[in-house]
Amino acid sequence: MSIVEFIKKKPKAELHLHIEGTLEPEHMFVLAKRNNIQIPFNNISDVKKAYNFSNLESFLKIYYEGSKVLVKEQDFFDLTWAYVLKCKEDNVVHTEVFFDPQTHVYRGISFDTVISGIYRALKKANKEFGLSFKIIMCFLRHLDQESGLEILNQALAHKDKIFGVGLDSSETGNPPRKFEKLFKKAIEKDFITVAHAGEEGPPEYIWEALNLLNVKRIDHGVQCLHDEKLVKKLCNNQIPLTVCPLSNIKLRVFKKLEEHNLKKMLDKKLIVTVNSDDPAYFGGYVNKNLIEIQAALNLSANEVKTLLINSFKSSFLKEEEKKEWISKI
């Protein structure tokens, strides 16, 4: 079996995926029309041109604009259903999905509408083709802690559907320490915690996520290699890092895939996984991320296997479930 075939055929888990980031341009137009929402694009080619980002901030502006076409429960269902079909195609058998309630609640969409649509689609995928899932609610770090506390309060009514909380949006200038109280409260309420850290931000933000937010996983974390002590800590504590290669290129964290530090991270024995982040904006779902990074860094079959094993190892599945999937790789 070729490496590409191996990547395509083997079961895998996806651990860093923003559901709003799966909104394909074609779907954005359908929803804009259905809901009578103005979008700043005339056609698909306009959209594709706009997806030429210079950094995280320039992406987020367009990403939040795109999310405005999501209005009804059915829109969130359709969005999520389109994503689960991609999972099926890529042999993703377990997915841990982020959503950003503040993006929607502050433009008048109820929390209930958002979570119900996402959850209904994931449940249906579980019933129809066995996809397992966890939902992780992200707080927008460009907003304040008070706003996060309000959203956390609303999430309590949906504790049965939401497994954990995370932290996303503009990293620079919004360090994890800004949300210490919020994450403490979330842990008290029995949510597990993760956070985006060290995507553009310094290693210090990864330290803060670990020490102040008690995260079980770091999203991105690629800046950790600038701090040897941090690398040691991540290894010793077996903290996974959910790396997103195509995202890192589109947002210019690295100039090109050949310069990505994923292989160096593997060499240091860090627990890294490969994920798609916002695939509709960054040019590919998880298999494409795996295939392109393997080729660019000339990863060996063993390294690719490690990445797939890590995807389950780093998930929030139960130990028996992890073992079962890993035995199939």
- Which chain residues interact with Zn ion by CB under 5 A? 277
- What is the size of the binding site for ligand HPA (CB under 6 A)? 10
Nearest to 290 by CA among 324, 327, 320, 260: 260
Active site residues: 199
- Partner in contact with 78, chosen from ligand HPA, Zn ion, none, beta carbon below 5 to 8 Å by kind: none
- For ligand HPA, which residue of 78, 90, 199, 292 counts as binding (CB under 6 A)? 199
Task: Count CB neighbours of 135 within 10 A.
Answer: 20
Output 97 or 309, the one with its CB closest to ligand HPA: 97
Task: Report the candidate in 92, 88, 183, 98 with the shortest Cα–Cα distance to residue 137.
Answer: 98
State residue 116 phi and psi, 5-degree precision. Answer: -65, -45
Place of tokens 């050949």: 258
280 touches ligand HPA (CB under 6 A): no
Residue 329's SS3 state is: coil
Q: Which residues contact 141 (CB under 8 A, 6 or more apart)?
A: 167, 168, 169, 170, 171, 174, 178, 179, 196
Nearer to ligand HPA, 14 or 277 (CB): 277
Contact with ligand HPA (CB under 6 A): which of 14, 73, 78, 168? 168
Query: Vertex 268, ends 266 and 269: CA angle to 5°?
Result: 65
Q: Is 101 in the site for ligand HPA (CB under 6 A)?
A: no
Instruction: Sort 108 into a burial class: Cβ within 10 Å, 0-12 / 13-18 / 19+.
Output: exposed
Cβ at position 38, least distance to Zn ion in Å = 27
Asked if 208 touches ligand HPA (CB under 6 A), the answer is no
Q: Which amino acid is at 211?
A: N
Question: Shortest gap between Cβ of 169 and ligand HPA (angstroms)?
Answer: 5
Site for ligand HPA in 220-259 (CB under 6 A): 247
Quick one: which of 22, 169, 275, 276 contacts ligand HPA (CB under 6 A)?
169
Q: Nearest distance from residue 300's CB to Zn ion, in Å? A: 27
Give the pair of three-digit tokens for residue 140: 């927008």
- Could you say which of 28, 47, 56, 218 contacts ligand HPA (CB under 6 A)? 56
